[in-house]
Structure 1
Amino acid sequence: MTPFFQDPPHPGNRFRTDPTLRLTLEHLLPRDAFDEASRLFDRFGARAAEELAPLADEAERHEPEHVAFDPWGRRIDRIDVHASWLKLVAIGQEEGLVALPYEAPYGAWSRVVQAGMVNLFDPVAAMATCPLVMTDGAARLLTDHDPELAARHVPKLVARSGGWTSGQWMTETTGGSDVGRSETTARDLGDGRYALNGLKWFTSATTSQMALVLARPEGAPGGSRGLSLFLVELRNPDGSWNGIRVRRLKDKLGTRALPTAELELVDTVAVPVGGIGRGVAKMGGLLNIARLWSSWSGPAGTGHLLALARDYARRREVFGSKLADRPIHLAWIARIAAEYEAMLALTFNTAAVMGAAEHGANDGLARLLAPLTKLACARQGVWATSELVESFGGAGYVEDTGIPRIMRNVHVNCIWEGTTSVLAHDVLRVLGATDLGPALLDDMDRRLAGLTHAPMDRVRGTIAAARHMLAPLVAEPDETQARRLAWGLARSYQALLLAEAAQWRLVEKGDRSGLAAAELFTREPLVAPQTADIAETALRDLALGNHGGADAEDAAA
């Protein structure tokens, strides 16, 4: 008997095989910028499939190792990472994933081109994106807050060859996003330098040359207002650690090729960034960049698996026909594709807004769109990649296909740079302290007015109804409605961007697939049902398992 084997999906140049990625960039970028950048995307898409993917496979098979002592008992705390992972980081630098916004060959649109490059890079780079995003954020922060340090370090951070990378160390055992409880201290050495002492509980990019660290100067008040920001060069001139002791590497669900460590700082020499004080405020620019990159990872992983799933559907035979010919499969994949189109529309638009702000545009919406975009696309990426794993059947659950790790790596973005609830709370703060809420609603009104073609009427009406529901929530932000408000703003804005793209595709391309995506996306609620009519005590009992109104421990007793 001749054995039968299913034909596996064949990865290819995703800039050519992913029409949503290509059309989203074409719709958003000016014609000359798109034509020029297309050559970059096409070349890099081929490189990602042919060179980067094998490197990522190798890096994932050789996880980082912590070597605490040398053979003679001396403490060395060496972190060994595989050469393939370092090569991926170097390729990211070489291709300008950090440099593009600072070289700005496409002007204010350089962030959008960067987003397209990261979309091709991230799924096949074994999370080498982590040190790159921290480096981008560090370059932005130093440029904004400390010209002297920027002149010394930014050229190294944005170099395409032999460049530095940077870490960002905030998290301590006292809390992640609650940085006000940080216990790391900074002692003035009297010569413009400080000695840092404390424990940093999660530190990514531990193989970098520098890191930005929050610490509390001696005598500073408690809480986040007392924190300052410091730049640490990790190594002394002789190559030894700069007062850094590695406790252990983290054993994580995903991002397994990425070294993440617990570090003790023992009189670690550092210099303040932009003087003492306002440490958390200075981190704002870096945080926006990091959230932007985190939002790119969800659609990047989704797009990668969706391209494989589409190819597989044309090859996989079930019950006498290809998956691509079965309506039940097509309807399911189309729903995932609609979510993917919405993710791309929002992430690339936010990149455009942030790029414009960096080039002098008076567009404060970046401060609101950064948390909204990360909140939505991180969670949507987890949903979509989970669904797509299923589309490969049992093969999707087998490690050596590389498919499961895409879902695991995407999941970290729901945690990095703020969980969903932290981001929703941040949105509340922005709405309460600025006029960006009304500005976003005004922008939605302007965009709605541009949806003039008759096929868009139903979608337009759905979005307009959601905008009407959101207006009172924006006017009076309330923590009990924070997640509903943030999700509602994000999904409604996504739907609007999706509708704009759909209208453009109808008019310019004669393509109705964008309209199908907008229709499918808006058939799901844009604003979640409100819970104000449910008693707060009942919600608390349900959330904490206090059934019968008693604490579980008391009930057990």
Structure 2
Amino acid sequence: MENNTTHAFLADTHVVENQSGALENYNSFQHDRALIQATQHFNDSHKQSLNAFGQLCGSAEYLYLGHLANQNKPQFKTHDRFGKRIDAVEFHPSYHQLMQSAIEQQLHSSPWMTQAANAHQFRAAKYYLQAQVEAGHGCPITMTFASHPTLSKQPAVAQAWQPLIQSSRYDASNKPWQEKSGLTLGMAMTEKQGGSDVRANSTKAYPVGQPGAGELYELVGHKYFVSAPMSDGFLVLAYATGGLSCFLVPRWRPDGSKNPLQIQQLKNKMGNVSNASSEAELRGALGWLIGDEGRGVANILEMVSLTRFDCMIGSSAGQRAAVAQAIHHAERRQVFGAHLVNQPLMSQVLADLALESDASLALTLRMAKALDNPSNELEQQLLRIGTAVGKYWICKRTPGHAYEAMECMGGMGVMEDGPLARLYREAPINAIWEGSGNVQCLDLMRIITKSPQCLDAVWSEVANAASDQPLLRHYLNQTRQQFSQAGVDILNHGRYFMERLALCLQASSLIHQQSPVADAFCSSRLQQNSQALYGAFAQSIDCAAVVRHASPHP
């Protein structure tokens, strides 16, 4: 007679081993040495706040909210069951939990509510931690944050709206803004025929009574891309008699009736799926004119600049999340008799990914420092170029970075129930939104042409850092010479010069922050034979030290 016990034993064909497991229940601030280095000048209160928030952001429960929010897409309902037009978008509870946390942390408002030093840097560091959990809900958080300078141009409107916009209470209810405990804002500029060329917009604005700043107009037209359509109000560009103008359009009219800003459909996006994006028509929607007629682009420009800055934060966060996952996997996975992290080729790739991530964070926080010094003209000149350069370079580098991190994990990297697939789909979004790469190049050339002193601010910034770094000093001198020789032909080489400026500013930012990987970054990026693909080092770099510095573990 056969032994059934033996058969039962043989049915256990294998033991699950040599798997990395999930990166969770760790402190995403405390275990991010680059972020700690960049925030070492913060006061104790800010450091304690970051430490507590990092514990939350690294917890399994909080990370799972990001997964759920993307597994359950927003659902659009045009009408209720009685046939009444409601234009409602319903979100999974996980989305609301992330929104509530972000608003409680004042990621939408904190720099406007305090005179504390480092306010923008502190907010950027927190946003960086939150964005590693989930990116989509950051869209309404960013737009609400960035709306402050534009709304402030119309004091009466700002007085009514800003206290509720700055509220630390998240109110997702669908009712008039006056009845809510907290508000979020969106913006609507893009149209089918215009895209980035907003002056090609066709939406018209007609004064209800007396025209002028702060007065009510009715807007008629369409918008092809309206993100976060459940926001309580939207900054909208439309043509009035005096030209392209900026308006605040609420979801509800002052009398409590629904404003006819009608959603047509939700966009079916490859990434950022937790965040609803829509097409909408304005059918006589009421809105307050912000500033004077014809000043729409100028009045909304600061908002756009701040949303681009947040794209830098979000993409930097995506890079950090990706490299942390890759290193976590490599530290625990064994191949050919050794842990992956100790295999030379893998160590080089991981080190290169870490250098990219650290440099992106350094440049982002350098621009946050400039935001914290609005009265310093040199800082503001640097900010004008640095935001365009950072938005272009960091966001463009992120898709390739996400792919390489995914490849480090092999087949596990492409599993939809893991984080890398979502990071990969998310990676191109920030490069495209808020002005694509060529738009950033055009902005850079416009800045250089109209305000050449801004370029001088960049040269000064980099030269200060290059005094003790010969590779950066040589790269800077070469770049300055190429700029001077390009002359009127500079526009045709916009992307080339964007890259040169980006590497200069990333290197100088790492040096100013006394990053231990600054020399490795310069060695890998600033020499003539620098690599095109991650991990193809031609120079000798202590890859193991760089990886240890970037490891999400103690």
Q: TM-score, normalised by structure 1?
A: 0.85
Report matched runs for 1:490-529 at 5 Å. 490-501=502-513, 504-505=514-515, 511=516, 513-523=517-527
> In the alignment, which of 63, 67, 71 is matched to residue 57 of structure 1?
67
Of stretches 362-371 and 226-235 in structure 1, the one that deviates more from structure 2 is 362-371
Deviation of 1:515 after TM superposition, in Å, equals: 2.4
> In the alignment, which of 142, 146, 167 is matched to residue 159 of structure 1?
167
Q: Are 2:258 and 1:241 equivalent residues in the alignment?
A: yes
- Contact preservation (8 Å) 1:204, 1:260: yes
Question: CA distance change for structure 1 residues 189 and 118 in 2, over 3 Å: closer, same or farther?
Answer: same
2:164 maps to a residue whose letter is K
Deviation of 1:159 after TM superposition, in Å, equals: 1.4
**Which residue does 1:7 correspond to in 2?**
20
**Which residue does 1:171 correspond to in 2?**
190
Deviation of 1:401 after TM superposition, in Å, equals: 0.8
Q: Are 2:155 and 1:147 equivalent residues in the alignment?
A: yes
Deviation of 1:246 after TM superposition, in Å, equals: 1.3
Partners of 1:335 and 1:362 lie apart in 2 by 30
Deviation of 1:479 after TM superposition, in Å, equals: 2.0
Q: Are 2:338 and 1:321 equivalent residues in the alignment?
A: yes
- Contact preservation (8 Å) 2:466, 2:472: no
> In the alignment, which of 273, 277, 282 is matched to residue 290 of structure 2?
273
**Which residue does 2:429 correspond to in 1?**
412
Q: Deviations over 1:252-299 (max 9, x none)?
A: 010101010100100001110013221001111101100100011111
Report matched runs for 1:88-127 at 5 Å. 88-104=98-114, 106-107=116-117, 109-127=118-136
**Which residue does 2:357 correspond to in 1?**
340
Partners of 1:311 and 1:524 lie apart in 2 by 32
SS at match of 1:346: helix
Q: Deviations over 1:24-66 (max 9, x none)?
A: 222xxx3xx2433211111101111224312112211110111
- Contact preservation (8 Å) 2:463, 2:473: no
- Contact preservation (8 Å) 1:338, 1:518: no
Partners of 2:488 and 2:426 lie apart in 1 by 37
Deviation of 1:238 after TM superposition, in Å, equals: 7.5
Report matched runs for 1:440-479 at 5 Å. 440-449=458-467, 451=468, 456-473=469-486, 476=488, 478-479=490-491
Q: Are 2:38 and 1:24 equivalent residues in the alignment?
A: yes
Question: CA distance change for structure 1 residues 154 and 471 in 2, over 3 Å: closer, same or farther?
Answer: farther
Deviation of 1:485 after TM superposition, in Å, equals: 1.8
Partners of 2:120 and 2:160 lie apart in 1 by 24
- Contact preservation (8 Å) 2:402, 2:423: yes
Question: CA distance change for structure 1 residues 81 and 389 in 2, over 3 Å: closer, same or farther?
Answer: same
Of stretches 206-215 and 383-392 in structure 1, the one that deviates more from structure 2 is 383-392
2:520 maps to a residue whose letter is A
Question: CA distance change for structure 1 residues 359 and 87 in 2, over 3 Å: closer, same or farther?
Answer: farther
1:438 maps to a residue whose letter is D
Q: Are 2:230 and 1:216 equivalent residues in the alignment?
A: no
**Which residue does 2:6 correspond to in 1?**
none
Question: CA distance change for structure 1 residues 518 and 427 in 2, over 3 Å: closer, same or farther?
Answer: same
Partners of 1:244 and 1:318 lie apart in 2 by 57
Of stretches 195-204 and 237-246 in structure 1, the one that deviates more from structure 2 is 237-246
Q: Deviations over 1:384-429 (max 9, x none)?
A: 1121111111111111112211122231001111000010001111
Report matched runs for 1:291-302 at 5 Å. 291-302=308-319
Deviation of 1:130 after TM superposition, in Å, equals: 0.4
- Contact preservation (8 Å) 1:292, 1:370: yes
Question: CA distance change for structure 1 residues 34 and 526 in 2, over 3 Å: closer, same or farther?
Answer: farther
Larger RCO, structure (CA 8 Å, separation 6 or more)? 2
Q: TM-score, normalised by structure 2?
A: 0.86
Q: Are 2:287 and 1:287 equivalent residues in the alignment?
A: no
**Which residue does 1:533 correspond to in 2?**
none
> In the alignment, which of 428, 432, 457 is matched to residue 439 of structure 1?
457
SS at match of 2:380: coil
Structure 1 unpaired stretches of 5+: 221-225, 506-510, 529-557
SS at match of 1:151: helix
Partners of 2:530 and 2:460 lie apart in 1 by 18
**Which residue does 2:228 correspond to in 1?**
205
Corresponding pairs, count = 501
Q: Deviations over 1:195-250 (max 9, x none)?
A: 00111000001111111000001x44xxxxx2000001112467653112111000
Partners of 1:526 and 1:285 lie apart in 2 by 36
Regions of 4+ moved over 6 Å? 358-362, 524-528
Partners of 2:23 and 2:522 lie apart in 1 by 29
**Which residue does 1:36 correspond to in 2?**
45
Deviation of 1:142 after TM superposition, in Å, equals: 1.6
Partners of 1:281 and 1:205 lie apart in 2 by 23
Q: Are 2:199 and 1:180 equivalent residues in the alignment?
A: yes
SS at match of 1:227: strand
**Which residue does 2:446 correspond to in 1?**
429
Partners of 2:530 and 2:188 lie apart in 1 by 36
- Contact preservation (8 Å) 1:337, 1:517: no
1:210 maps to a residue whose letter is G
SS at match of 1:60: helix
SS at match of 1:356: coil
1:54 maps to a residue whose letter is Y
Partners of 2:119 and 2:90 lie apart in 1 by 34
2:479 maps to a residue whose letter is A
Partners of 2:379 and 2:465 lie apart in 1 by 19
- Contact preservation (8 Å) 1:298, 1:382: no
- Contact preservation (8 Å) 1:122, 1:300: yes
Deviation of 1:124 after TM superposition, in Å, equals: 0.9
SS at match of 1:201: strand
Q: Deviations over 1:346-369 (max 9, x none)?
A: 111011112211688873322222
SS at match of 1:2: coil
> In the alignment, which of 420, 426, 435 is matched to residue 403 of structure 1?
420
Deviation of 1:476 after TM superposition, in Å, equals: 4.3
**Which residue does 1:538 correspond to in 2?**
none
Question: CA distance change for structure 1 residues 297 and 238 in 2, over 3 Å: closer, same or farther?
Answer: same
2:184 maps to a residue whose letter is T
SS at match of 1:183: coil
Of stretches 184-193 and 515-524 in structure 1, the one that deviates more from structure 2 is 515-524
Structure 2 unpaired stretches of 5+: 1-12, 170-180, 533-554
Partners of 1:472 and 1:74 lie apart in 2 by 64
Question: CA distance change for structure 1 residues 308 and 123 in 2, over 3 Å: closer, same or farther?
Answer: same
Partners of 1:497 and 1:71 lie apart in 2 by 56
Larger relative helix fraction: 1
- Contact preservation (8 Å) 2:205, 2:217: yes
2:492 maps to a residue whose letter is T
**Which residue does 1:545 correspond to in 2?**
none
RMSD: 2.2
SS at match of 1:269: strand
SS at match of 1:241: coil
